[in-house]
């Protein structure tokens, strides 16, 4: 059982690593960033309804992925030899 | 908290800004805690490091001193890994402690500029993978293969020792300095530190160097695919596969990156298997057998189209596929070498250390050090280390693991490529890597030529060449220059012993060709784009309209200029009567090392500005070496009177022959071919002069800036202002015990905050 558990944990860790390296988690990170901003905003204003920040609106998942490649269009990154 | 300022740069004022409310959890361990952890040597730790040192020492003895008939490949692996571990544990630590002084109380750009997109704190292990995928490509796979003509020892020493003292040091420093500057690029840092002249020279040199690097990488692909129907088909299929992946991600499953990469990978395997079947058919073997020149033109057209298409359609999916393949295949190769442990029969140092070798011309010094660039010291990495990575890094101390550690990993790839190339028969090696001008491109010609070299223990027979060609599913393997095919034969040889037997050799060969081509084409696409933006930025200083990168016509014109620049060099290499890669590859290495010299020169000026003259040697050592090697190599390429080495000597020899009215000279059989040599050598010679002059300007301005700092003792800084960090993360791959303790407290606090939030209570 403990062997099975550690195998499962290893597989989970590998999946987490691959997701990160391949960039699957980009939107999750973006969302977390926005939520943290919103929380901080709410904390400072002590107003539970102040959900709307002054900053940019949070993009939907589809918008985010489009925006990501569009940003690469104008800001290319080298790949080494 | 409050570690004492150790340099003029770490002013007390800055220290105060970083002081943290003692009631809050600390965001960094005290320097004293770090020092205490390092200074504590438990018996187990002593035993482990003693074991590593002994094993490393033994491996070096087996490689360098013991002279048996053969040497086992496992010693290369042990010598490399043990040396890396020692270099990482002690030397990079020394650099961290005395030169860079990371301060985890300071927020990194990923924290203080966080936008959830370009600036986003990324787990150090994930970022290591990212960074490695961005720096490693075909370079470390090709250079060591060509350098194998000198024997196994010189290349091995340079790759392993070079990375510890030069390559990894450069990557680490550039990453750290760029991080302290909000992720500024190498070009911007050069302008900040070296002024207008040095900065402009660095920029022009970078642009020119990128052109030559892209061109020669493309030449490697052309050489690997020419007249290989199987290769042309399977590599060609990567384009529709990437387009499919792009559309899939854009319209059907946005964000499913790993999923689409797995689908793409399966399609790639199908393309390789399908390529074998198609190459067997009558029409397939004629239709896909493309000559070098049309193939080169195809790649040029492809490069232009790929660079103006939107990123999501071709570039991004190809990049995903390439990253996926990189991590998979390199892991696979490492495991295979450890399982198979091939015996190496190549001598430690070959007959060609003093020059005269057919693969790369010139003597060991300096040409070995420019033939192997990537894997030991690669200037191109400075562009990556001052690109995306510094914007994603979580904590300052992690730069050591990612910058220094990432480069060690690339070096290990180079060692494996060297082992794979060394594992094949020496006769076959020389038959594959000598230019068609020498072998005539025929089996008989190759056998005669290789046996005439008088190499000890080499007795090449025609059967060996035809048999190997048949095994890997190719018409011929004679004069398959450029390194990629040789590596693929070596790799196929090793992999078939693990999986599939000789029946699978053809598959593994084309698998290897495929991933090398994939890495290279990704680098070509990305390189063209980056170069185009650099050109637009520079042209924008004279014609402001070019600054607007979304101006279509401007984008097309600048892309066209960059593509024609590398395309011209590529066509020159493909049509060169002297063999192409043999004459051009040194230029690739020289360009890459000159870029390293530029990056190190910028680091030198920065270190001097920090007032750390006592430790300036850490930068000066690799800088001096790179400068001596590249300037000397350029000097030989420009002034040598030996035609095989000097571009202008060759040029003179052929012009004289033309003047004398000869219609055939050396390996050039026609007047046109002779004229081509005259033209090519002139271009190559002029490029050599351009590179070396620009690099010397940069180095002189860097030394001037260093001297100014020394004389005036004024230590300004171009770093961003220090911002206090609000988070904690361990610094290395594994957290140390003290780091673990602190991390646990942070985890508990985060869990509590979540509970509080869920319970609708206000925090704090």
Query: How confident is the model over B631-643, as a mean pLDDT?
Result: 94
Percent of chain B at pLDDT above 90?
A: 86
Of B125, B137, B532, the CB nearest to A81: B137
Query: Which of A19, A20, A21 has the most B C-beta neighbours within 10 Å, making it the best mutation to test the interface with B?
Result: A21
Using the Cβ of B534 and the Cβ atoms of chain A, whether some distance falls under 8 Å is answered with: no
pLDDT of B757: 79
Contacts B526 to A, Cβ<8 Å: 76-79
pLDDT of A1: 66
* β strands within B298-412, DSSP E: 343-344
Contacts B374 to A, Cβ<8 Å: 80-81
pLDDT of B95: 98
Most confident of B11-20, B463-472, B494-503: B463-472
pLDDT of B591: 92
**Cα-based torsion angle of the residue sequence B458, B460, B466, B471 in order, rounded to the nearest 10 degrees:** -20
- Chain B residue with minimum CA distance to A23: B257
Least confident stretch, B54-68, B402-416, B419-433, B664-678: B664-678
- Strand (E) or helix (H) holding B71: strand B71-72
Of A72, A74, A80, the CB nearest to B381: A80
For residues B409 and B218, give the distance between their C-alpha atoms in angstroms, rounded to a whole number: 24
- Mean of per-residue pLDDT scores for chain A: 85
Confidence label for B41 from pLDDT (cuts 50, 70 and 90): very high
Instruction: Quote the minimal CA–CA distance from B321 to chain A in Å.
Output: 9
* Cβ-defined contact of B134 to A77 (cutoff 8 Å): yes
Using the Cβ of B549 and the Cβ atoms of chain A, whether some distance falls under 8 Å is answered with: yes
Q: Which residue has the tokens 């960033």?
A: A33
Confidence label for B8 from pLDDT (cuts 50, 70 and 90): very low
Instruction: Quote the minimal CA–CA distance from B148 to chain A in Å.
Output: 19
Confidence label for A55 from pLDDT (cuts 50, 70 and 90): low
Query: How confident is the model over B625-640, as a mean pLDDT?
Result: 96
pLDDT of A78: 82
- Chain A residue with minimum CA distance to B524: A79
- Chain B residue with minimum CA distance to A34: B116
pLDDT beyond 60 at B144: yes
* Cβ-defined contact of B530 to A77 (cutoff 8 Å): yes
Least confident stretch, B197-211, B529-543, B572-586, B640-654: B572-586
| Range B296-302, long-range pairs (CB < 8 A, 24+ positions) | B296/B218, B296/B219, B296/B222, B296/B567, B296/B570, B296/B571, B296/B574, B297/B571, B299/B218, B299/B221, B299/B222, B299/B521, B299/B524, B299/B570, B300/B218, B300/B563, B300/B567, B300/B570, B300/B571, B302/B239, B302/B521
Contacts B130 to A, Cβ<8 Å: 21
A→B interface, C-beta within 8 Å = 17-24, 26-27, 29-34, 39, 43, 46, 61-62, 64-81
Cα–chain center distance at B62: 28
pLDDT beyond 70 at B642: yes
Contacts B311 to A, Cβ<8 Å: 69-70, 72-73, 76
First to last CA, chain B: 23
* Cβ-defined contact of B254 to A22 (cutoff 8 Å): no
- Mean of per-residue pLDDT scores for chain B: 93
Report H helices in B660-736: 671-712
Cα B456 to Cα B12, B151, B351, B451, B459, distances in angstroms:
67, 12, 9, 10, 9
Contacts A23 to B, Cβ<8 Å: 257, 320
Rounded to two decimals, the pTM is 0.94
Q: Which residue has the tokens 């170069």?
A: B531
- Chain A residue with minimum CA distance to B128: A21
Query: How confident is the model over B199-227, as a mean pLDDT?
Result: 93
In contact, B604 and B619? CB cutoff 8 Å:
yes
Confidence label for B19 from pLDDT (cuts 50, 70 and 90): confident
Helix/strand/coil for B350: coil
In contact, B78 and B55? CB cutoff 8 Å:
yes
Q: ∠ CA(B32), CA(B37), CA(B43), 5° rounding?
A: 150
Report H helices in B434-504: 436-439, 443-452, 462-471, 484-498
Report H helices in B540-613: 552-575, 581-609
pLDDT of B339: 95
pLDDT of B764: 44
Helix/strand/coil for B372: coil
Query: How confident is the model over B203-215, as a mean pLDDT?
Result: 92
- Strand (E) or helix (H) holding B326: helix B315-340
pLDDT beyond 90 at B713: no
Question: Is the backbone of residue B256 left (phi > 0), alpha (psi -120 to 50) or beta?
Answer: beta
Using the Cβ of B116 and the Cβ atoms of chain A, whether some distance falls under 8 Å is answered with: yes
Query: How confident is the model over B394-418, as a mean pLDDT?
Result: 97
Query: How confident is the model over B650-655, as a mean pLDDT?
Result: 94
Contacts A32 to B, Cβ<8 Å: 116
* Cβ-defined contact of A79 to B118 (cutoff 8 Å): no
In contact, B376 and B471? CB cutoff 8 Å:
no
Helix/strand/coil for B26: coil
Q: Tell which B residues from 570 to 599 touch A, by Cβ distance under 8 Å.
A: 592
pLDDT of B763: 45
Instruction: Quote the minimal CA–CA distance from B475 to chain A in Å.
Output: 29
- Chain A residue with minimum CA distance to B519: A81
**Chain A with chain B: Cβ pairs closer than 8 A:** 133
Contacts A29 to B, Cβ<8 Å: 116, 120, 122
Confidence label for B6 from pLDDT (cuts 50, 70 and 90): very low
Cα–chain center distance at B103: 29
Of A34, A43, A61, the CB nearest to B254: A61
* β strands within B352-417, DSSP E: none
Instruction: Quote the minimal CA–CA distance from B136 to chain A in Å.
Output: 6
**Which residues make Cβ contacts (< 8 Å) with residue B111, sequence separation at least 6?**
B121, B394, B723, B725, B726, B727
Phi, psi of B701 (to 5 degrees): -65, -35
Instruction: Quote the minimal CA–CA distance from B568 to chain A in Å.
Output: 19
pLDDT of A49: 53
Percent of chain B at pLDDT above 70?
A: 97
Query: How confident is the model over A38-58, as a mean pLDDT?
Result: 67
pLDDT of B1: 35
Report H helices in B640-670: 647-659
pLDDT of B7: 46
Using the Cβ of B546 and the Cβ atoms of chain A, whether some distance falls under 8 Å is answered with: no
pLDDT of B10: 47
pLDDT beyond 50 at B513: yes
Q: What is the per-residue pLDDT across B559-587, written as a single tens digit (0 to 9) for each?
A: 999 999 999 999 999 998 887 788 888 88
| Range B704-707, long-range pairs (CB < 8 A, 24+ positions) | B705/B193, B705/B194, B705/B195, B705/B198, B705/B605, B705/B608, B705/B609, B706/B604, B706/B605, B706/B608, B706/B616
Residues in chain A: 81
pLDDT of A45: 66
pLDDT beyond 60 at B192: yes
For residues B213 and B637, give the distance between their C-alpha atoms in angstroms, rounded to a whole number: 17
């Amino acid at each position: 059982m403990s062997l099975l558990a550690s195998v499962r944990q290893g597989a989970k860790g590998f999946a987490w690593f691959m997701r990160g390296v391949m960039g699957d988690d980009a939107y999750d990170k973006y969302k977390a960033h926005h939520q943290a901003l919103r929380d901080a905003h709410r904390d400072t204003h002590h107003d539970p309804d102040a959900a709307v920040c002054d900053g940019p609106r949070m993009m939907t998942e589809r918008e985010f992925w489009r925006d990501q490649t569009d940003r690469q269009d104008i800001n290319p990154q080298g790949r080494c030899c | 908290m409050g570690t004492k300022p150790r340099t003029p740069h770490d002013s007390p004022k800055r220290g105060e800004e970083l002081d943290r409310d003692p009631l809050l959890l600390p965001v960094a361990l005290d320097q004293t805690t770090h020092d205490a952890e390092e200074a504590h040597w438990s018996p187990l730790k002593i035993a482990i490091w003693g074991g590593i040192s002994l094993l490393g020492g033994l491996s070096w003895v087996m490689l360098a001193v013991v002279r048996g008939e053969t040497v086992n490949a496992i010693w290369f692996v042990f010598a490399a890994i043990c040396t890396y571990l020692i270099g990482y544990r002690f030397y990079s630590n020394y650099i961290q402690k005395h030169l860079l002084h990371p301060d985890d109380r300071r927020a990194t750009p990923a924290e203080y500029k966080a936008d959830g997109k370009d600036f986003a704190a990324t787990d150090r292990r994930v970022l290591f993978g990212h960074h490695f995928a961005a720096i490693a490509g075909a370079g470390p796979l090709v250079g060591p293969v060509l350098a194998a003509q000198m024997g196994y020892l010189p290349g091995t020493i340079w790759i392993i020792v070079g990375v510890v003292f030069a390559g990894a040091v450069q990557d680490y420093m550039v990453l750290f300095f760029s991080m302290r500057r909000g992720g500024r690029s190498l070009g911007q840092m050069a302008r900040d530190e070296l002024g207008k002249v040095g900065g402009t020279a660095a920029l022009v040199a970078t642009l020119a160097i990128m052109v030559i690097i892209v061109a020669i990488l493309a030449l490697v692909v052309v050489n690997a695919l020419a007249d290989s129907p199987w290769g042309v088909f399977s590599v060609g299929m990567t384009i529709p596969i990437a387009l499919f992946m792009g559309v899939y991600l854009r319209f059907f499953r946005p964000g499913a990156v790993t999923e689409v990469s797995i689908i793409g990978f399966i399609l790639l395997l199908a393309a390789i298997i399908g390529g074998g079947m198609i190459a067997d058919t009558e029409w397939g073997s004629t239709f896909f057998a493309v000559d070098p020149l049309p193939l080169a033109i195809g790649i040029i057209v492809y490069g232009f189209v790929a660079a103006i298409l939107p990123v999501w359609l071709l570039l991004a999916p190809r990049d995903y596929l390439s990253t996926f393949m990189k991590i998979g295949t390199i892991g696979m190769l490492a495991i295979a070498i450890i399982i198979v442990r091939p015996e190496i029969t190549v001598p430690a140092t070959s007959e060609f250390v003093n020059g005269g070798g057919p693969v790369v011309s010139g003597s060991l010094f300096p040409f070995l050090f420019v033939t192997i660039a990537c894997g030991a010291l690669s200037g191109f990495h400075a562009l990556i280390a001052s690109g995306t990575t510094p914007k994603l890094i979580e904590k300052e101390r992690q730069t050591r693991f990612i910058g220094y550690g990432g480069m060690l990993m690339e070096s290990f790839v180079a060692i494996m490529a060297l082992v794979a190339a060394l594992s094949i028969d020496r006769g076959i090696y020389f038959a594959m890597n000598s230019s068609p001008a020498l072998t005539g491109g025929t089996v008989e010609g190759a056998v005669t030529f290789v046996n005439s070299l008088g190499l000890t223990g080499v007795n090449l027979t025609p059967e060996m060449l035809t048999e190997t060609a048949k095994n890997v599913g190719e018409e011929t393997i004679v004069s398959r220059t450029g390194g990629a095919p040789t590596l693929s034969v070596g790799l196929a040889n090793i992999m078939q012993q693990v999986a599939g037997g000789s029946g699978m050799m053809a598959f593994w060969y084309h698998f290897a060709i495929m991933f090398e081509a994939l890495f290279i084409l990704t680098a070509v696409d990305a390189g063209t784009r980056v170069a185009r933006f650099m050109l637009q930025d520079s042209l924008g200083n004279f014609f402001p309209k070019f600054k607007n990168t979304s101006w279509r016509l401007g984008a097309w014109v600048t892309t066209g200029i960059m593509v024609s620049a590398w395309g011209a060099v590529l066509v020159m290499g493909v049509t060169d009567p002297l063999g192409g890669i043999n004459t051009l590859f040194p230029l690739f290495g020289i360009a890459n090392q000159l870029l390293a010299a530029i990056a190190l020169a910028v680091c030198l000026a920065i270190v001097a500005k920090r007032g750390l003259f006592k430790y300036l040697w850490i930068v000066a050592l690799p800088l001096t070496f790179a400068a001596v090697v590249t300037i000397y190599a350029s000097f030989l390429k420009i002034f040598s009177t030996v035609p095989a080495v000097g571009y202008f000597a060759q040029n003179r020899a052929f012009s004289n022959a033309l003047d004398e009215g000869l219609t055939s000279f050396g390996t050039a059989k026609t007047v046109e071919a002779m004229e081509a040599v005259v033209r090519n050598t002139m271009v190559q010679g002029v490029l050599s002069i351009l590179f070396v002059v620009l690099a010397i300007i940069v180095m002189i301005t860097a030394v001037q800036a260093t001297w100014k700092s020394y004389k005036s003792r004024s230590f300004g800084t171009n770093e961003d202002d220090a911002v206090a960090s609000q988070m904690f993360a361990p610094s290395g791959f594994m957290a140390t015990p003290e780091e673990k303790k602190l991390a646990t407290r942070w985890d508990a606090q985060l869990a509590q905050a979540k509970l509080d939030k869920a319970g609708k209570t206000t925090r704090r």
